[in-house]
């Protein structure tokens, strides 16, 4: 799975993509929890305004972020956008 992230880092050199992984599987939400802890600690130093979590199945494209960013800038009271391949529209 880390290879997919490493490929994305090469594919998008102008984007800050951080690979954080565990030595053992932390199950559902474990990776997100670790990621949130990381960005709470280092987000300000990295000038992070938004955090995006992708599953490693490569079903979303980083260009989808343009739609999300536009929405977040227009509706600044929104804290979370959740996407799913199982939801139409």
Domain parsing of the chain, residue ranges = 2-74
Residue 54 in this model has a pLDDT that exceeds 80: no
32 confidence band (pLDDT: 50, 70, 90): confident
Residue 39 in this model has a pLDDT that exceeds 80: yes
**pLDDT value of residue 89:** 62
By CB atoms closer than 10 A (0-12, 13-18, 19+), residue 14 is: exposed
Instruction: Output the average pLDDT for the chain.
Output: 84
80 confidence band (pLDDT: 50, 70, 90): confident
Q: Where are the alpha helices (DSSP H) in the chain?
A: 2-11, 30-42, 65-74
Its pTM surpasses 0.75: no
């Amino acid at each position: 799975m880390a290879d997919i992230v490493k490929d994305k880092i090469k594919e998008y050199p102008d984007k800050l993509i951080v690979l954080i992984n565990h030595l053992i599987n932390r199950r559902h939400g474990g990776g997100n929890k670790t990621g949130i802890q990381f960005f709470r600690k280092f987000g300000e130093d990295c000038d992070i305004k938004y955090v995006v979590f992708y599953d490693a199945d490569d079903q979303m494209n980083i260009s989808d972020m343009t739609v999300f960013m536009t929405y977040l800038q227009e509706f600044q009271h929104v804290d979370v956008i959740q996407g799913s391949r199982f939801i139409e529209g």
